[in-house]
Amino acid sequence: MRILLLGKNGQLGWELHRTLQPLGKVFAVDYPEIDLTSPDSINKTVQEYQPELIINAAAYTDVDRAESEPEIARAVNGLAPGMLAEQAKTLGSALIHYSTDYVFDGKKGNPYIETDRPNPINVYGRSKLAGEHAVTKVGDVYLILRTSWVYSLRRNSFVTKVLRWSRQQKTLRIVSDQIGSPTWARMLAEITAQILAKAGGDVVHWIDDHKGIYHLAGNGHVSRLEWTQVILHYDPQKEDQITQETQPALTKVFPTPAQRPLFSALDCEHFKKIFDMRLPDWKKTLQLAMESE
C-alpha cells in the first residue's frame, strides 16, 4: 500500500511515520515540502505520490495564535482537508483525517458522543469543524478521528511544559475547571496503524465500509490540575523538581486570546464497538509515556 502522510514532524505525524512502516510504502511530508495553504502544493504532492491512502496529521494547532491568523487556520484546517478528500476521490483512494474535541462548546457536562451538536467557541475549533464538513461533503472514502489533549514528550506539549515549570517554580497554579481526555500521540498513532492492519489488503473498501466520524482519545477524563499532579508523580527525574505545591486556579484568572471549552471529554464507545479496540486509560498511558522517553 502507498501511504501519503502529511505532518510528519508534528506530535502525531512523527509517531505515525514510524508505526505505519510495516503497512506499506510511506511517503511522509511536512511544511515546506507541502504547504496546506496552497491548493497547487496539495494537488502536486498528491499527484506525485499517487497514494492509496492519505493520512492527514498536519494542522494549524496553535489555538491562541489562530485568533489573530484566522485565514491561515481556516486554509490549513478548514479548506485543505476538503482538497485532500477531493484528490483521494479522484485517485480512488481513502483519507484518514484528525479532528478535535474543540469542535464542541464544553457546556454539555459529560463526555461528548459523535452525534452531539458541534458549537465551537474559538477560531481553531471553527476551522477544524469546517475541515470535517469539507471532508464529509466530498463524502467519499474517509475516517475522521476526533481526538483531544494530544501530547508527546519530544515536542512542546502540556506535559513538557509542566515538566519545565516544575524545574523553575515552587508553586504551580493550574486551571482546575478545564476537563478533557489526555491522549498520547504514540498510542493514537499505534491504534491508527492497528485499525489499518485489520483492513488487510483492501484498505479503500474497508474504510468505505467503516466511514464516518469517530471519537478517539485516552480513556477517562481529568482536570488540567489533576493531570499536572499525575505528570509530576510519574516524572522519571523527580529529583530535578523544585515545585512544592500545585494550586487550583480558574480559567477566567488566566485570560488567553482564545476561549477554551471547559468540559471537552470525548466518549469513545462508538469507536470501541465498531473496531473492537480502544485507547487505554489516560493515566496508565501517561505512565507508559513517561517511562518510555
Ligand X SMILES: NC(=O)c1ccc[n+]([C@@H]2O[C@H](COP(=O)([O-])OP(=O)(O)OC[C@H]3O[C@@H](n4cnc5c(N)ncnc54)[C@H](OP(=O)(O)O)[C@@H]3O)[C@@H](O)[C@H]2O)c1
* Alpha-carbon gap, residue 40 to 141, rounded angstroms: 22
Matching residue, cell 497547487 = 40
Q: Of 31 and 241, which has the nearer Cβ to ligand X?
A: 31
Query: Residue 210 interacts with ligand X (CB under 6 A)?
Result: no
Query: Residue 219 interacts with ligand X (CB under 6 A)?
Result: no
Query: Residue 35 interacts with ligand X (CB under 6 A)?
Result: yes
Query: Residue 45 interacts with ligand X (CB under 6 A)?
Result: no
* Alpha-carbon gap, residue 246 to 228, rounded angstroms: 8
User: Of residues 4, 5, 7, 289, which one binds ligand X by CB under 6 A?
Assistant: 7
Q: Of 241 and 270, which has the nearer Cβ to ligand X?
A: 270
Q: Are strands 183-184 and 150-151 parallel, antiparallel or unpaired?
A: parallel
User: Of residues 3, 5, 26, 34, which one binds ligand X by CB under 6 A?
Assistant: 34
- Candidate segments 141-149, 159-167, 199-207, 252-260, binder of ligand X by CB under 6 A: 141-149
Shortest distance (Å) from residue 204 CB to ligand X = 22
Could you give the 3-state DSSP secondary structure of residue 227? Answer: helix
Shortest distance (Å) from residue 57 CB to ligand X = 5
Matching residue, cell 514510524 = 18
Do the beta carbons of residue 87 and residue 6 sit within 8 Å? no
> Is residue 60 among the annotated active site residues?
no
Matching residue, cell 471549552 = 261
Q: Give the E-state strand segments of the chain in sequence order.
A: 2-6, 25-29, 53-56, 94-100, 142-147, 150-151, 171-175, 179-180, 183-184, 212-215, 222-223, 245-249
- Candidate segments 56-64, 193-201, 208-216, 277-285, binder of ligand X by CB under 6 A: 56-64
Annotated catalytic sites, by residue? 124
Q: Which residues bind ligand X (CB under 6 A)?
A: 7, 9-13, 30-31, 34-37, 57-61, 76, 98, 100-101, 128, 147-150, 155, 185
